[in-house]
A and B are shown apart, each in its own frame.
Chain A
Amino acid sequence: MSTVRRAPREALRTRTRRRRLGSIVLNGVALIAFLYILTPLVFVTWLSFYLQSIPSYPPQGYSLRWYSQAATNQQFIDAFVLSAQLGVIATAIGLLLALPAALGLVRVRFRGRALVSNILLMPLIVPGIVLGFALYVFQVEIEIRSGLPVIGSFWGLVWGHVLLTIPWIVRLIVASLEGMDRAQEEAAMNLGANRFTTFRRITVPAILPGVVAGALFGFVSSFGNLEMSLFLVGPGRTTLPISILQYLQWRIDPTIAAVSVIQIVIVVAAMLFTDRFVKISRVV
């Protein structure tokens, strides 16, 4: 009798043990992935506070000199301002183009929808070098034929960066449009709101997290882009990633680490700030 009763209890114990083991493995894997992502960031941050100019272990002391170095380097300041302007303008134009595109993709049933949707993702898939080179050749052709100063101009650069922002914005707006309950729009119309009012009062608030997240990701991918920008910048006009690269060709002191940390802090701050207003985590 007692053996009969013990059997299921033992089975239960094995099962609990197995489940516990499973969760340990899962947590372990998550930890490894987390460390893998975080380690370089931690080391860059650590390095940025080193006293000596040649990165070597152990550090001879700590200082903030590389931060002041970075903050007073006119080249970095100019590059930072340019990258920020570029990111904001490219993202704004990207939004104007991507919002109608996303609405069309989700709300209108047309032939070749999947194709258009994939084409809009292309800038994410095509290597930046290829994209940059293709744009460069195209701009050369335009300049030759029209005489307009396109190559190396600010708007030539914006043009390229808009392409970088579009896939992110389209994807994330599409996701939030698809996740939206359309009955809410019908409810608004039933209550007396016309199409435009419905869009403004109901649709926009509903997809706002997607719009903001898309804009943020678009901005970040523009801000950090190196390969494509290499083809599109002109004399006296360098973006931050390019000026970092140029600096690294001559020196390897921790100024670069300080610049990187500033960059990381800005992006993280932007994400935390926007997350307070719209729950980006809901769409990404």
Chain B
Amino acid sequence: MARLQLDTLSKRYGDFYAAQDVSLDIADGEFLTLLGPSGCGKTTTLRMVAGFVEPTSGMIHIGEREVTELPPWRRNTGLVFQNYALFPHMSVAQNVGFGLEMRGVAKAQREPKILEALRLVRLEHLADRLPRQLSGGQQQRVALARALAFQPDVLLLDEPLSNLDAKLRQEVRLEIRNLQQRLGITTVMVTHDQEEALTMADRLVVMAEGRIQQVGTQRDLYERPATPFVAGFVGRSTFLRGRMKADVLVLESGLSVRCGRRLVGDAVLALRPERVTLTAEPPAGFDNVFIGEVEIVSYMGGLTDVHVRISPSDRIIAQIANGEGVRLPEVGNRVHVAWSSNAAIFAVPREKQPEAVH
């Protein structure tokens, strides 16, 4: 168990930065998740920590040890691979005991530790099976037990849930989180699934194009995204683009949106669907009210998404909580969409930012 520090870590391939100036300080026992689309540098970062990718520059510390130059087998990290990478010719027990064996632990001393690790993932009854005799979920747990059995300083998880079906994923998610908290092991997970990231981590790191976009808690990222990319990647947003005049954003369609913030030049504004109010009659108490036509109504159980076109080039997504007596608008209805200027979660100069998703 140890603190993990990455100091301006970069990996360059020719002119291309797979990861650039990644600096993170992960506390002992913290669960940190690297989140981003494929190619954002999250996996490269994880592999630099594990020692499979040699950084072009920067430093890595695990606890007091500087490990930047150390080969993978001298780092004492436990890595769970996306495809589990179990050794097919070894039994579950041999797989789990491999790390101990490599550390010169005698066979007699290995056995109780193997059982203990298997007990953590509730698989002690399958110790003698071969990996191919296990289900995907069981293989995943063996991989986890194998990565924990030798008590690594840091646990690394590379998209550990992506090969499981949706229902199992929910379960394993909680299980990994519980285990991590019980053992108090410093953990770094890589994922592209924001829901996964939101439910598991103490802190999240959103990456795009090799760089860290934002580091923070779930709430920080959702309510105060630092870049349009984060606003689009964590949760959903409607983006409005235009030019700032004092505290008003003038959209390309000519509509004026009050932002409650003064900026200069081109800017992007992001709105969370649940912060937008939808009414039939003109509502009171909002400083942004537009009339539009309902284009899409998509019912999703507890919530309904309503897409409203307020100009030929602008469409707002509003979210309605379904419930007793809630009347849903219909496609083609004329409605009022409204939000107060402080609901705009975000407004920044539109510079060279990574393109937001959606």
Interface residue ranges, A against B (CB under 8 Å): 181, 183-184, 186-194, 197, 202, 205-206
**Residues of chain A with a CB closer than 8 A to B146's CB:** 187, 191
Q: How many angstroms between the C-alpha atoms of A192 and B98 in the bound complex? A: 8
Closest chain B residue to A181, Cβ basis: B85
Residue from B76, B77, B78, B87 within 8 A of A202 (CB atoms) = B87
Number of interface residues of B (CB under 8 A): 26
Interface residue ranges, B against A (CB under 8 Å): 50-52, 71-73, 75-79, 81-83, 85-89, 98-99, 102-103, 146-147, 150
User: Are A190 and B77 in contact, CB atoms less than 8 angstroms apart?
Assistant: yes
Tell me if A's interface is mostly helix, strand, loop or mixed: helix
Q: How many angstroms between the C-alpha atoms of A187 and B78 in the bound complex? A: 9
User: Are A192 and B99 in contact, CB atoms less than 8 angstroms apart?
Assistant: yes
Minimum-distance CB pairs A-B, first 3: A192-B102, A183-B85, A191-B99
User: Are B87 and A190 in contact, CB atoms less than 8 angstroms apart?
Assistant: no
User: Are A184 and B102 in contact, CB atoms less than 8 angstroms apart?
Assistant: no
**Residues of chain B with a CB closer than 8 A to A184's CB:** 85-88
Q: Write the nearest CB–CB distance from B43 to chain A, whole angstroms.
A: 12
User: Are A190 and B89 in contact, CB atoms less than 8 angstroms apart?
Assistant: no
User: Are B89 and A186 in contact, CB atoms less than 8 angstroms apart?
Assistant: no
Q: How many angstroms between the C-alpha atoms of A191 and B85 in the bound complex? A: 12
**Residues of chain B with a CB closer than 8 A to A181's CB:** 83, 85
User: Are B52 and A186 in contact, CB atoms less than 8 angstroms apart?
Assistant: yes
Q: How many A-B residue pairs have CB under 8 A?
A: 62
Q: How many angstroms between the C-alpha atoms of A206 and B75 in the bound complex? A: 25
Q: How many angstroms between the C-alpha atoms of A197 and B99 in the bound complex? A: 12
From B75, B78, B85, B147, residue with most partner A Cβ within 10 Å: B85
Closest chain A residue to B77, Cβ basis: A190
User: Are A192 and B73 in contact, CB atoms less than 8 angstroms apart?
Assistant: yes
Q: How many angstroms between the C-alpha atoms of A212 and B76 in the bound complex? A: 35
Closest chain B residue to A191, Cβ basis: B99
**Residues of chain B with a CB closer than 8 A to A188's CB:** 87, 98
Given contacts A191-B98, A192-B73, A194-B71, 15 further A-B contacts (CB under 8 A): A184-B87, A184-B88, A186-B50, A186-B79, A187-B79, A188-B87, A189-B52, A190-B51, A190-B75, A190-B77, A191-B73, A192-B150, A193-B98, A193-B102, A205-B87
Residue from B73, B78, B88 within 8 A of A189 (CB atoms) = B73
Given A189-B72, A192-B150: A197 and B102 interface contact (C-beta under 8 Å): yes
User: Are B87 and A183 in contact, CB atoms less than 8 angstroms apart?
Assistant: no
User: Are A190 and B83 in contact, CB atoms less than 8 angstroms apart?
Assistant: no
User: Are A187 and B85 in contact, CB atoms less than 8 angstroms apart?
Assistant: yes
Q: Write the nearest CB–CB distance from A100 to chain B, whole angstroms.
A: 22
Q: How many angstroms between the C-alpha atoms of A195 and B146 in the bound complex? A: 19
Q: Write the nearest CB–CB distance from B161 to chain A, whole angstroms.
A: 16
User: Are B71 and A189 in contact, CB atoms less than 8 angstroms apart?
Assistant: yes
Closest chain B residue to A186, Cβ basis: B52
Q: How many angstroms between the C-alpha atoms of A194 and B75 in the bound complex? A: 12
**Residues of chain A with a CB closer than 8 A to B85's CB:** 181, 183-184, 186-187
Q: How many angstroms between the C-alpha atoms of A186 and B72 in the bound complex? A: 8
